[in-house]
Amino acid sequence: LDGIRDATKAGWEVLNAGGSAVDAVEASVRVLEDNPIFDAGRGSVLTDEGKVEMDACIMDGHSLGAGAVASITAARNPISVARAVMESTDHCLVVGAGADRLVERLGC
């Protein structure tokens, strides 16, 4: 339960500081991705080939913008890459090698 508390606290702190809901969600999910206990980011379950492939998506309910990545391997925090897809590209979903190239290009 500590990881859930940490993630909740991260989001709450963003909201208390005047951040947006999207900022709070990203902060919370990053905490989960950085915690090896969860099947996210560092704790991702390996594929049958022994690789880590991660997915993430985020949506802004105000603007109805959305961004997602799938089968990404090069990012520590896929949620941040999904947000970059939403805010910095014309796409709503980027997959595999294209998502990994986006990580390099945007520095996510």
> Rounded to whole angstroms, how far apart are CA atoms 61 and 83?
13
**Averaged pLDDT score across all residues of the chain:** 94
Q: What is the pLDDT of residues 78-100, one digit of tens each?
A: 999 999 999 999 999 999 999 99
* Average pLDDT rounded to a whole number, residues 39-60: 92
Measure the N-to-C terminal CA separation of the chain; round to a whole number of Å.
Answer: 28
* Average pLDDT rounded to a whole number, residues 59-63: 96
The answer to whether the beta carbons of residues 28 and 22 sit under 8 Å apart is no
| Whole-structure pTM value | 0.92
Supply the pLDDT for residue 49: 93
